Structures are given as structure tokens and as C-alpha cells.
Amino acid sequence: MALDSKIKQQLQVYLDKLVHTFVIHYSVDESPKSQELLSLLEEIKSMTDKIMLIPSKLDRTPSFTIADTGITFAGVPLGHEFTSLVLALLMAGGYPMKLSEEEQKRIKELDISGNFETFISLSCHNCPEVVQAFNIIAFLNHNISHTMVDGALFQDEVKERNILSVPMIFRDGELWDQGRMELDEILAKLDVNTDAREAEKLNAKEPYDVLVVGGGPAGASSAIYTIRKGLRTGIVAERFGGQVADTMGIENFIATKYTEGPKLVAQLEEHVKDYPIDIMTLQRAKKIERKELVEVTLENGATLKSKTVIISTGARWRQLGVPGEQDFSGRGVAYCPHCDGPLFKGKPVAVVGGGNSGVEAAIDLANIVGHVTLIEYAPELKADQVIVDKLKSLNNVTIITNVETKEISGIDKVNGLVYNDRATGETHTLELDGVFIQIGLIPNTDWLKGDVELSKYGEILIDKHNATSMPGVFAAGDCTEIPYKQIIIAMGEGSNAALGAFDYLIRN
């Protein structure tokens, strides 16, 4: 294969940074994908004198391993995984990592061992985060090895292990975890003493002027506005970026024709880190109380204090709440068509939800799977007409409206979906391999019940200054009652909440 000239030019810049020589052992046969891998490796080798290629017999074909790093790629790491490949080459070639000495020391001192495997799809935008994190861990800790496995190329293993969602991580052949995770999250799971250490550090922090709970667009906007007002600001969040990190194409972010969620999250984080904002991730809020100051208690037992608080905890995928949904999560029940769609290549699937997200998911999946059945509760699809017309033009899509999903069936994985026709009352069953649920969002506000006034839908009630029912506490973004849940609106609401908090502080 030949790399695109622009990509090759960018790659050359990185390869020129390699400090010392290293060896790549590769395993290929006569298959097209093997030859594609061999061509890729030879092209990379032609661009630097720091890489040696040696044919070998590895556990999987096609695959290659970077000697003395514990890093293996089973498949052809292109698409979203090309960055994972480049970063692995830089590490192997001695280019300094963007990790603090403290973080590197923590990884080296992990008292664990194991062979980790991450099953991915090249179209998954969440997978590279996991692959790159485990590659770093394997490189720094010689008791750990890591293999990226492209599930599309190793279908026998995917079938044997019932992999119907990516990324899915195995440790010594046993399922370890699944879903998008950052390096800090993985280290917290590997290091059992993390919670106690973090709680001690957090309890020792001085009170803030403004504490932002949540790290999505609303939270980032709030923090930037308050720090620019000269207020001591902290952000506490489970992860930076929130739902945006799970979003692919974004075409309605004004002044930016097109971007993708992970890229926008990286830009948000970079902007926030330009200021002296105290960022505390991997932390979930448990309770909020108004005492002398506002106190936010975290799941690990720590308590953070602040003169004001801005809640921007966002929302999560709404679930159907039908039998089988939880049982088959990750085994046929999915929420991200971009990530998990390739695992259903040529197979029949359903999409539940007739709004924009559901119709867009059905269109995306129609290019991959054998057949898509779109199921909508209402008599008509609720999506924009332009994408409804696109959906109806596809010959492998069936649209069923005015029906209620009653059950997702299966044995060890999904094999069907049961629905009722709301007009006739008749029950029907679809034979399927996967169900993608796209029925909107639910606010992350369970921890506020009884302390902050919520709507009947669980959304935080706010006034025109984004103030909540608790004095000194403000809210912004998808966790509030604002009717339209959009990234750009969340940013504006975050700014408004920040100005509301500032106004509260100067008046009190």
C-alpha cells in the first residue's frame, strides 16, 4: 500500500525524531491484509534508518511486535489507530514521552503482571485512547505486555469470545473491562490503593472561589470564564469532555465547518490547561450541601469546599429499560454505531429511535451491516427531513413506526427483538444480531435529589442567571432544563453560569 502523500509528509517529521535503532518482528502470509501490512512496514522502514524488519512467527497473522517494548499490533493499524502506531514507534525510538516523572514512576512500580489484549475496530474513535494507554504501560512496565487486535481480521476470536462491542480488553485471556478509558482510569483500576491516596490529597485542598462539577463543554466554558475573573477555580469530573468524547462528526459548531468529538475535547482541555485551573478527574460527585461554604462529597469519601459551585455533569445515553438490555450490553446491545458497527458486518441489526441520532446511526450502519431495521415509538420519524429522505433511499433499511420495544432476546448474545404494534396490539419478533439504542439522553443528576430542585425529568431547574435552588450553586449544560441539548448551547450556558457565580460572589 502507499500512504497518502500528506500523511507520509507528516509521518516523516515524526520518524526524524527517532533517537536509536529498534527491531520490528512481523508475521505475514499471502493474504491481502498481510501484504497490506508488509507494504506499510516496508514503506515506513524506507523513511528512516532507525527501523529493522525481521520476519518471524507470531501468535497472530498478520501482526507485528516492536522488540523490547511489550507492544504488538495484530492487524493493520490504520484509520483511528494510525496515531497509536506512530506513538509506539516514537517510544521505541527513544523520543521522550509526554508524561511526568511522577506518572512514569507510578507505572513502573505497578505490582502486577499480565498479557493485555484490546480488541478494536479501525472506525472506533474511542479505541485509540485505550490502545495508547496500554502501550505506554507495557513500554514502561516490563511485567506487562499489550496487543491491539483488529476484530474485523480475527473473526474466529471475536466469535469465540462473544465480542460485540469495542474496545474490549482481556487480561491473560479473561475479560478485564470494556469501553473508552483514559490512562488515569486504567491505572486507577490496576492500582488498588488509588482511591485512598486520592481522597487524602483532595481533602487537603484549600476552598475554591468556584468549583465546577463536570468536565464537558459547559464545565470547560465555566472554568475559563471564572479563572479569567481572577477566581480560584477547580474542575472535578469523572473524565474530561463528557459525552462529546463519544461523538463523531460535528458540523454545527459555528465557525468550524467540521470537527470530531475527541479532537474538540483535546482542544477544550488544552485551552483549560492554559490557565491555573485545578483539574481533578476520575472523581464522581456523591452529595452537595450548603454549610458555611458549599461542600461537595465525592464517591471516594473526600470533600471539596467552595464559595460557589457550578454543576455541569451533563447527560448519559437513555436506556430502554426492557428485559435483555442490561443482560446483553456489550453482547449485541450497543450505543455507538461508529465504534461497534464494524463488528456486525453483513449481519441484521436494529436501531431503536427515530430522532436525528437514530436516523443518522441507521444510515451509517447501512453501509456496513446486512440490513437495518429502524424502530420508532411515534407514528412518524422525528428526525430532520433531509436525513429521513436519505434513509428512505437506502435499499437495505426497513422503517417501522408506531411500535413499542418490549424485549431484547438472546442466549449468550442478542438474537432478536420483540415489539408491539401500538395500533393493532399485535406482537412481532425480529431476528437480529445487534440492537443499537438511540433514544436520547438522561441528565446525570441522581446525586442531587433532595438537595437541589429538579424537574420531573430530573433536570436541574435554573433561573436566568443559571442559579439553582441552593444559594451559591449554579448549573449549566445538558443536566439543566434548557430545551436544546447542543454543544454550542452548553458552552454559552457555562459562560452564563460563570458570570452568575461571579455576580453572586461580588454581592455576597
* Residue labelled with grid coordinates 446491545: 333
CB 469 within 8 A of CB 453: yes
CA distances, 423 to each of 54, 320, 403 (Å): 66, 20, 8
Burial class (CB in 10 A: 0-12, 13-18, 19+), 78: middle
pLDDT digits (tens, 9 = 90+) for 370-423: 999 999 999 999 999 999 999 999 999 999 999 999 999 998 889 999 999 999
62-74: b (≥16 Cβ within 10 Å) or e: bbbbbeebbbbbb
Query: Three-state SS for 202?
Result: helix
Q: In the structure grid, which three cell numbers stand for residue 298, read together?
A: 465525592
Cβ-proximal residues to 505 (8 Å cutoff; 6+ apart), any chain: 209, 210, 231, 307, 308
Burial class (CB in 10 A: 0-12, 13-18, 19+), 196: exposed
Positive or negative torsion for Cα 77, 81, 83, 87: negative
Domain made up of 5-192: CATH architecture: 3-Layer(aba) Sandwich (3.40)
Q: Do domains 197-315+443-507 and 333-437 have the same CATH topology?
A: yes
Burial class (CB in 10 A: 0-12, 13-18, 19+), 224: buried
Residue ranges in the chain modelled with pLDDT below 70 = 1-2, 248
pLDDT of residue 377: 96
CB 8 within 8 A of CB 40: no
Report how far residue 21's alpha carbon sits from residue 35's, in angstroms, rounded to the nearest whole number: 24
Positive or negative torsion for Cα 502, 503, 507, 508: negative
Report how far residue 449's alpha carbon sits from residue 436's, in angstroms, rounded to the nearest whole number: 30
Report how far residue 451's alpha carbon sits from residue 235's, in angstroms, rounded to the nearest whole number: 21
pLDDT of residue 209: 98
Domain extent listing, the chain = 5-192, 197-315+443-507, 333-437
* Residue labelled with grid coordinates 431495521: 373
Pairing assessment for the beta strands 434-437 and 473-475 based on DSSP bridges? unpaired
Query: Does the global pTM surpass 0.75?
Result: no
How many Cβ atoms sit within 10 Å of the Cβ of residue 42?
12
Positive or negative torsion for Cα 415, 419, 424, 425: positive
pLDDT of residue 332: 92
* Residue labelled with grid coordinates 475554591: 208
Q: In the structure grid, which three cell numbers stand for residue 56, read together?
A: 518471524
What CATH number has the domain spanning 197-315+443-507?
Answer: 3.50.50.60
CB 247 within 8 A of CB 438: no
Q: Which fold has domain 333-437?
A: FAD/NAD(P)-binding domain (3.50.50)
Helical ranges in 191-284 per DSSP H: 194-203, 217-227, 261-272
